Amino acid sequence: MRPTKGSFNKKWLALIALVLQNSLQSIAMRYTLVTGEASQRYMTSTAVLMSEVMKLLISALACFVMDAGANVTRLKSVLKTDASGSGDWLKLCVPSVLYTVQNSLQYAAMAELSAPVFQVMYQMKIITTAVFSVYMLSRQITVMQWGAIVALTLGVAAVQLSQHADTGDKENSMMGLVYVLCGCVTSGFAGVYFELVLKTSKASIWLRNIQLSCIGILVASAGCWCRDGERISSEGLLSGYDSTVWGVVAIQAAGGLIVAIVVKYADNVMKSFATSVSIIISAAVSAQMFNDVTVNASFVSGSLTVLGAVYTFGASQPVKVITRQDLLLDLDDTEEDKATRSRV
């Protein structure tokens, strides 16, 4: 079945949006964390909080339109019947806390690593997600996929070592790697756990994201108080915010929705292609703006190895790495959509 002109345009628009989102998030986040006086910069703990607030607003609007048909009475019914149990909220505390921690770790890692190095290393979440999928969801990983995991690990190591060749700042780079590793573990476990929760309940992804965001706001608020309570009291919650910081918050909040659209209208191969292009763009821009990345043979070969491993892992079935946002696809698709995509 040949794709229609409309679906073709949607596919490329979604891919362009993903490339821009991946590139802009890493570059803009890095820019806000390395420019200006340290004492005048925004607090990353508040950025995590604002991102959760923005996700809540987006999810609430989507739930109102898509689940309740823009009817207030139906919305109340959905909230009452599908999200009223205390046990239901308790189950979601685990992924919500982990997603909030993951966002904080991304800011910490970006403060220590250049944008392209962070993007390459963050692909390690494929490994953690695959491992948790095997143990929690009883999925099987093929020999080729295990080979891709090994190749991905070697590629990440090559990228990490490439940044030690010409600089002596090993401490910061190693701390960045630790933050990325912790972020990948929390991302992998939270994604698989959230999938397990969704598949054992009738609530929609939008309602679940409302619940996750509400819990995330509480967790992020506690983080703000513990880490920056004194500064927030004296300078205010949004101290240091400007249009660039708000842009980072908005890009981070919208990123998951863009990924879901790409998976719906494109495929994993094109998604990997978009990731490759965004890393190239980030490397070029980061080298010019910050002069904080050493683009040498080791970096290039390591990046290509990582991207090749990502492609190989995604192209080999039956394991599918599912994130919090990717689940939008399966829950929102009609049977006709799924049948059409299976034939492509």
**Cβ atoms of 328 and 205 closer than 8 Å:** yes
Tens of pLDDT along 120-130? Answer: 888 888 788 88
Per-residue pLDDT reduced to its tens digit, 12-45: 787 788 888 888 888 999 899 888 787 789 999 9
**Pairwise pLDDT comparison (116 vs 201), residue with the higher score:** 116
Q: What is the pLDDT of residue 206?
A: 81
Q: What is the average pLDDT value for the chain, to the nearest integer? A: 79
Taking the complete model, does pTM exceed 0.85, yes or no?
no
Around Cβ 166, how many Cβ atoms within 10 Å?
A: 8
Spatial separation of the C-alpha atoms in residues 292 and 287, rounded to whole Å: 6
Please report the pLDDT score of residue 294 as a whole number.
76
pLDDT reading at 285 higher than 60? yes
* pLDDT tens profile 53-92: 998 998 899 889 988 898 989 988 888 887 767 777 888 8
Longest CA span, the chain: 63
CB 130 within 8 A of CB 149: yes
**Distance from C-alpha of 231 to C-alpha of 293, rounded to nearest angstrom:** 32
The tokens of 190 are what? 């939270």
pLDDT score at 1: 45
Burial of 316 (0-12, 13-18, 19+ CB in 10 A): middle
Smallest CA-to-CA distance from 30 within 137, 109, 103, 90 is with 109
- Whether pLDDT at 260 is above 60: no
Question: Within 13 A of 216's CA, how many CA atoms are on the CB side?
Answer: 30
Query: Do residues 282 and 120 make contact, with C-beta atoms less than 8 angstroms apart?
Result: no
Q: What's the rounded Cα separation, in Å, for the pair 216 and 308?
A: 34
Q: What is the mean pLDDT of residues 318-336?
A: 50
Q: What is the DSSP letter of 67?
A: I
Domain ranges for the chain, please list them: 42-343
Mean pLDDT calculated for residue range 241-246: 93
Comparing C-alpha atoms, which of 34, 12, 13 is closest to residue 248? Answer: 34
